[in-house]
Amino acid sequence: MNRSLLYNICWLFIWMILACPGVVSGQSYTVRIGSGIGIVDSPNFRSSIFLGRGMVVYPSQYDFSHMPNGAIFNKYAIILNDIVNGTISCNPTVVKFDSSTLCTIIPSAGYYIAMITDNGRDVTANVAGKLYVLNNITFAHTISATFGKLGDFNNDGNVDLIDAVIALQVMSGVSSATQTLYSRAEIIGDGKIGLADAVYILQKAAGLRIESPIGMVLIPAGSFQMGDTAGEGLSDERPVHTVTVSAFYMDKYEVTKALWDEVYTWATANGYTFDNAGSGSAATYPVQNVMWYDVVKWLNARSEKEGRTPVYYTDVAQTIIYKTGQANLVNAMVKWTVNGYRLPTEAEWEYAIRAGTTTRFYTGDCITTDQANFDGNKPWSGCPTGQYRGSTTPVGTFAPNPWGLYDMAGNVFEMIWDHYWGSTYPSGSVTNPHGSNSGTSRIMRGGDFGLYFDGFGVVTGYASMLRSSYRTELIPTAVSPEAGFRSVLNQP
Residue 39: predicted pLDDT: 31
Alpha-helix residue ranges (DSSP H) falling in 156-226: 161-172, 179-185, 195-205
Residue 213: predicted pLDDT: 86
Q: What is the 3-state secondary structure (H, E, C) of 326-375?
A: CCCCCHHHECCCCCCCECCCHHHHHHHHHCCCCCCECCECCCCCCCCCCC
Q: Distance (Å, rounded) from C-alpha 420 to C-alpha 299?
A: 21
Residue 148: predicted pLDDT: 78
Q: Helices H, strands E: what count in the chain? A: 8, 22
% pLDDT > 90, the chain = 50
Return the minimum-mean-pLDDT range out of 12-26, 77-91, 250-264, 316-330. 12-26
User: Given a cut of 60, is residue 308 above it in pLDDT?
Assistant: yes
Helix/strand/coil percent split, the chain, to 5 = 20, 25, 55
Name the most confidently modeled range: 15-24, 71-80, 119-128: 119-128
The number of residues in the chain equals: 492
Q: Considering only residues 156 and 307, tell me which one the structure prediction assigns the higher pLDDT.
A: 307
Q: Distance (Å, rounded) from C-alpha 204 to C-alpha 207?
A: 5
Q: Considering only residues 181 and 443, tell me which one the structure prediction assigns the higher pLDDT.
A: 443
Residue 189: predicted pLDDT: 53
| pLDDT tens profile 474-488 | 999 999 999 999 999
| pLDDT tens profile 254-288 | 999 999 999 999 999 999 999 999 999 999 999 99
Name the most confidently modeled range: 54-68, 114-128, 419-433, 435-449: 435-449
Return the minimum-mean-pLDDT range out of 103-117, 340-354, 401-415. 103-117
Over residues 376-401, the mean pLDDT reads: 94
Residue 327: predicted pLDDT: 96
User: Given a cut of 70, is residue 341 above it in pLDDT?
Assistant: yes
Give the closest residue to 483 by CA, choosing from 278, 253, 268: 278
% pLDDT > 70, the chain = 68
Residues contacting 174, CB < 8 A, separation 6+: none
Residue 29: predicted pLDDT: 34
pLDDT category at 424 given cuts 50, 70, 90 is confident
Q: Has this prediction a pTM greater than 0.75? A: no
Peptide bond into 394 cis (omega under 30): no
Cβ atoms < 10 Å from Cβ of 61: 8
User: Given a cut of 70, is residue 63 above it in pLDDT?
Assistant: no
Q: What is the DSSP string of 65-122?
A: ESBTTT-EESEEEEEE----SEEEEEESSEEETT--EEEEEEEPTTEEEEEEEETTEE
